[in-house]
Structure 1
């Protein structure tokens, strides 16, 4: 979390403790702070403040969007489309709808991780007027590949379907515009933009009159779509993080580009490595590399006390199955099993990169040496 975000949050964790839904002066004061945070989140994606509701994170936002839209239309429009490389919370939301009798379609991707647009178009054409929602992520959490949101949204609209996108990984890494990109619903995560964990947001396009059934009922907070007392300090924190992005995103993106280039330079002497996913259409804070001939899980364990890397999604790190993302991309078993994901952030330095990549390179050579001894 950015220290400037924490600084903004502290008063609302201590003295300004009133319930923002209360009618007294103390409540109205903190309610104003929540609305200021909402306005900053909206501005980052070119939305209106009343189109943004606060949630506990992108997982909840995805659940509300996907299940809420499908259940609003019911069996009048009982088809839902997503991709094979979505975050597990999207895939599980769609599967839960299948269990209730909805029809689900999972669009494939090419070896670069880009959506097969012809396949999407065919499904929409075949079930035109019966599809309630198309849900495709903006940037993949494992390989960083970015999708053509504008084109996907237009295809969905051509067949009277709404377009939802999980942009948890994309906000702050690439400029986003919900109007220009034909987006009806967008999920955002607070901690992916240097805000606090435990808070997120869902954009719901008022202009396109998006309707959905709430999953949580109660006091009717957040436009009757997400009942429950709003955590003021978390909303203030997410708003502060968004406010920083309003001016610093270009600087952040340039920083990520420099770190990625530097990281690859540090690994230039490592043989048999492959970057997973499109090298052109991607966020540059994410780097997935397969070091062919070694197991990514073994590399991760070997350097765990020095460098934090992963072999896939952090939300799926307890599973020993091959990544569903890399599998959908059609990569070989060696390429899938040897994949390691690096993440670079606002506070990562070139010294961090040099140290980390030197540790990685050294351990790769050691693992290869041991492998040859065991042959």
Structure 2
């Protein structure tokens, strides 16, 4: 299991890797050769301030987990309630069983690239996972869910985080609705 600190508001550049001792299914190769630390998996001196920052970020995340999940769920729902008023918008995935700060939608009748370009002046937005953002193919997850290829191409993912407010959600919704309707009217 790999973990990265910046996903829980910790410092960038530090992470953790849990490797099972017994019955390992995967053999990992060392990424840095030298002193043979960490059972030969890596070498070099770890940067203590980053480790402490990672630990503190996890501590804060665990302490605030319940209330923060409720707050993020409310913000996500606020955004969805506004966006869902537009014709041709589809929620990707289960309406209830989803990450609190994640809203993925697909939009009928619009070009996905034009949608991204139209939204970027107001918000940081993604059309897929960070690990596959260099690929132009539609999301295999969305096509596996039964979305036609054209609809999967016109999907966007909103990430809502610790520092987002209701006011920001309303600004994003207003701009997204205007952009979507403008693109739908051009068809």
Scaled by the length of structure 2, what TM-score is found? Answer: 0.88
Q: Per-residue CA shift, 1:318-352, capped at 9, x if unaligned?
A: 33222233233342113201111100001111111
- Whether 2:158 is the aligned partner of 1:304: answer no
Contact 1:295 1:337 in 2 (8 A): yes
Distance in 2 of aligned mates of 1:326 and 1:268: 18
The match for 1:368 is: 184
Distance in 2 of aligned mates of 1:361 and 1:201: 40
Instruction: Report the structure number with the largest CA radius of gyration.
Output: 1
Distance in 2 of aligned mates of 1:325 and 1:196: 30
Contact 2:83 2:89 in 1 (8 A): no
Distance in 2 of aligned mates of 1:249 and 1:370: 43
1:324/1:231 Cα in 2 relative to 1: closer, same or farther (>3 Å)? farther
TM-aligned CA deviation for residue 365 of structure 1: 0.9
TM-aligned CA deviation for residue 225 of structure 1: 2.3
TM-aligned CA deviation for residue 213 of structure 1: 4.5
1:298/1:218 Cα in 2 relative to 1: closer, same or farther (>3 Å)? same
TM-aligned CA deviation for residue 194 of structure 1: 0.8
TM-aligned CA deviation for residue 210 of structure 1: 4.8
The match for 2:11 is: 196
Q: Which runs of 5+ in 2 are unaligned?
A: none
Contact 1:287 1:343 in 2 (8 A): yes
1:203/1:254 Cα in 2 relative to 1: closer, same or farther (>3 Å)? same
Contact 1:289 1:339 in 2 (8 A): yes
The match for 1:256 is: 72
Q: Per-residue CA shift, 1:164-199, capped at 9, x if unaligned?
A: xxxxxxxxxxxxxxxxxxxxxx22121111112222
Task: Classify the secondary structure of the residue corresponding to 1:222.
Answer: helix
Q: Which runs of 5+ in 1 are unaligned?
A: 1-185
Question: Equivalent of 1:353, from 169, 179, 182?
Answer: 169
Contact 1:214 1:226 in 2 (8 A): no
Q: Per-residue CA shift, 1:67-99, capped at 9, x if unaligned?
A: xxxxxxxxxxxxxxxxxxxxxxxxxxxxxxxxx
- Cα RMSD for the two superposed structures: 1.9
Distance in 1 of aligned mates of 2:131 and 2:11: 17
Distance in 1 of aligned mates of 2:97 and 2:75: 17
TM-aligned CA deviation for residue 214 of structure 1: 4.1
- Whether 2:36 is the aligned partner of 1:220: answer yes
Scaled by the length of structure 1, what TM-score is found? Answer: 0.46
Distance in 2 of aligned mates of 1:295 and 1:192: 30
Question: Equivalent of 1:240, from 43, 48, 56?
Answer: 56
Number of aligned positions between the proteins: 184
The match for 1:266 is: 82
